Structure 1
Amino acid sequence: MKVEFAPLNIPLRRRLQTAAVVQWVFSFLALAQCCLAAFVLLCLSDWWIVGALYAGWLYLDRDTPTCGGRRSHWVRNWTMWKYFRDYFTISLIKTVDLEPNRNYLFGFHPHGVLVAGAFGNFCTEASGFSELFPGLTPFLLMLPFWFRVPFFRDYIMCGGLVSSEKASASYLLSEPRGGNAVVVAVGGAPEALDARPGALKLQLLQRKGFIKLALKHGACLVPVFSFGENELFDQMENPVGSALRRVQDRLQRIMGVALPLFHARGVFQYSFGLLPYRKPIHTVVGRPIVVVQNSSPSKEDIDTLHSQYIEGLTKVFEENKTKYGISENQHLSFI
């Protein structure tokens, strides 16, 4: 394989963009492990009392990830996130105004490999969420496991990440004054295993938990489609039924996280590595589906709203696909 090296005269601005993305990929893939190792070493060192005090803090603070988290406006507005945004060119597109006196459940599609669009748009202010949707506070759901990792949990909560436990979403969607926007990557870990350039297959037909949640709390459902999300990484071929896919599915069921074998480019060369390609991401926030609260929804109620949601998501995709590089004859498929 011929290696294509990056030129030496790259502008400082682009180098800073790459550095911001290196930090983000590192945070996703290795920061939790480093934080856990640091905590263990702290407890085994002469500073063990600090580790003991932090362990006590973890116990007292154990419910915070399911009660709205602890966001930091300072962290969300770091200049680094603007470089992160510009590496891809991440943009957030509003379809209609959303009333701040309501609560919303955003369904984010597709999951992609590392949900770059969801992170850039909803865990930072780089794309201007607060200006586009004044009065709304976004919360991105993340697997509960990560909120048990010392230090790492505190860092991710700063961006507005909260636990994906049912109690966590219910807490936010039951806010009587409204103003909360809970963002869930509906396809979850299984969809990440199909994330590759050109993929338009979404895990949605059997995903109805978020629909039931919206009904129970009367939260408006908002379909969100992130064009370009699947273009950021290549992935080893793993068709359903293959040996690799069976291993991945089994590990996903055991660990709760997907393990896609992805690759793209490197820091100093463009031929291989774990950094995403410089591809634009356009995240379109669709029209809200008004939901009448129903504390005990029937299967028929859930199925009816689920069909409305699929129709709304399909509309978002079809109305915008040609603007963002998808041909007219390409369509979404649902599994």
Structure 2
Amino acid sequence: MTGFKWKDIWKRMKVLGIEFAPLRIPLERRLQTISVYQFTLSFLFLGFFCLFLSFYLLFTRFYYISLIYAVWYVYDRKQSARGGRPILWVRGWRMWKNFANYFPLKLIKTVDLDPNRNYIFACHPHGVMCYSHFCNFATEGTGFSDLFPGLRPYLLTLAGQYKFPFFREYFMLTGSCDASKESIEYLLSKAGTGNVLGLVIGGAIEALNASPGNFRLHLKNRKGFIKIAMKHGADVCPVFSFGENDLYSQVPNPEGSFTRKLQITLTRVCGFSPPIFYGRGVFNYSFGLLPHRRPMNTVVGKPIGITKNENPTNEEVADLHQKYMDALIDLFETNKTKYGVAEDEHLILE
């Protein structure tokens, strides 16, 4: 029993199939976990908590806070479709560097981009909570401004997130805006050049496919971003985050099952999907809300140059959309083996 240490037993200890994390973890890793956990909880619960809080305050002596905010909300309600309210100090918080290092997450540039143009970064896959896309384009966690000098990133997300009182203010500080047509057209026509719109093309429905080894993308009928890009002459860059789908596992729900049908119905009615997922916990590696520590690498492909065409025909949109899908497939095939994807794995576009 030479060299016996109880901590070595603890490192391998499982109780009822649950693998526990070691007690002694470096402070740096603890800070990384805290950074990711605050985002996860904010994504899932902060909006609803703020909504509840605003109603609760109405029945307290602080009721005037909710009333004043209601007036502000009415006045400011369209700001999420007009560029948000990005603050560089918020985007540069050290917390976001810890967030990126948790996985770790890296942003990879393949070509330089002209700051005198506007771009739509068409991001894939959606994943369960868009961890890579948030960190890459709503923060400086992966050094966007250093990689792409002269460009301003805006992460476009579900418009419903900006309906939550108080939460919307916090979210817009990162440079996030809603993904409505009004919002996209504002950024491409009234905010000058050098704008990068990070748009997660697959939407909430694609989150239902987010699981390790799954490369199905909801893309074939998503042509709206192409039409808007043509209308405003914005270049489109394919963006693929290798590892985004590996962060969580989902409870299997076969196509055609009652659960899957219910998920799809709720997604279409509510605008956001309800995947049944699990990751790891703070003190265990077997289950919980935290994503697993698995590497993610986001590759930004070569832009597809687009000439302005304010009234493109359906055929012109379809042709450019096919060109985009070919470019995305090429980006995936060129880089997949560098980032842990087997040679025989391929994208499935639906």
TM range (shorter): over 0.9
2-structure distance, mates of 1:5, 1:327: 30
The residue number in structure 2 matching 1:241 is 256
Q: Which amino acid letter does the alignment assign opposite residue 303 of structure 2?
A: P
User: How far is 1:173 from its partner?
Assistant: 1.1
Q: Which of 200, 224, 236 is residue 209 of structure 1 equivalent to?
A: 224
Matched AA of 1:60: Y
Q: CA deviation at 1:95?
A: 0.5
- Return the offset for 1:118: 0.2
Query: What is the CA deviation profile of residues 292-317 of structure 1, one whole-angstrom value per residue up to 9, with x for unaligned ones?
Result: 11111101110110011011111111
Cα distance in 1, alignment partners of residues 41 and 51 from structure 2: 14
* One of 109, 119, 130 as aligned partner of 1:115: 130
Task: Quote the residue 1:331 is aligned against.
Answer: 346
**1:323 and 1:187 mapped to 2: Cα distance?**
24
What CA distance in whole angstroms lies between the structure 2 residues aligned with 1:50 and 1:160?
Answer: 25
1:273 pairs with 2:283: no
Query: In structure 1, what is the Cα distance between the partners aligned to 2:267 and 2:167?
Result: 22
1:189-268 equivalent positions in 2, closer than 5 A: 189-268=204-283
Q: Does 1:184 align with 2:168?
A: no
Residues of 2 paired with 1:161 and 1:322: CA distance? 32
Distance 2:310 2:44 in 1: 39
How far 1:176 moved relative to its partner?
6.7
Q: Is the 8 A contact 1:232 1:276 kept in 2?
A: yes
TM superposition score normalised by structure 2: 0.94
Percent of aligned pairs with the same amino acid: 51
Q: Which amino acid in structure 2 is aligned with residue 20 of structure 1?
A: S
**SS at 1:44's partner residue?**
coil
Per-residue CA shift, 1:25-50, capped at 9, x if unaligned? 10110001111111112222111122
Shift of 1:53: 1.1
1:83 aligns with 2:98: yes
TM-superposed CA distance for 1:61, in Å, is 0.6
- The amino acid of 2:283's aligned partner reads F
Query: How far off its partner does 1:22 sit?
Result: 1.0
Greater displacement, 37-46 / 113-122? 37-46
Question: Are positions 1:28 and 2:43 aligned together?
Answer: yes
What amino acid is the match of 2:59? L
Q: CA RMSD in A?
A: 0.9
Residue 5 (structure 1) aligned with residue 20 (structure 2): yes
What is the SS of the residue equivalent to 2:284?
coil
Could you list the structure 1 runs, at least 4 aligned residues long, displaced by more than 2 angstroms after superposition: none
Consecutive unaligned residues in structure 2, runs of 5 or more: 1-15
Q: Matched residue of 1:283: which SS?
A: strand
Structure 1: gaps (5+ residues): none
Q: Distance in 1 between matches of 2:194 and 2:255?
A: 41
Could you give the per-residue CA deviations for residues 250-292 of structure 1, whole angstroms, max 9, x where no partner exists? 1111101000001011010111111100001100000000001
Q: 1:310 aligns with which of 325, 328, 337?
A: 325
Letter in 1 for 2:203: G
Q: Please tell me whether Structure 1 or Structure 2 has the larger radius of gyration of its CA atoms.
A: 2
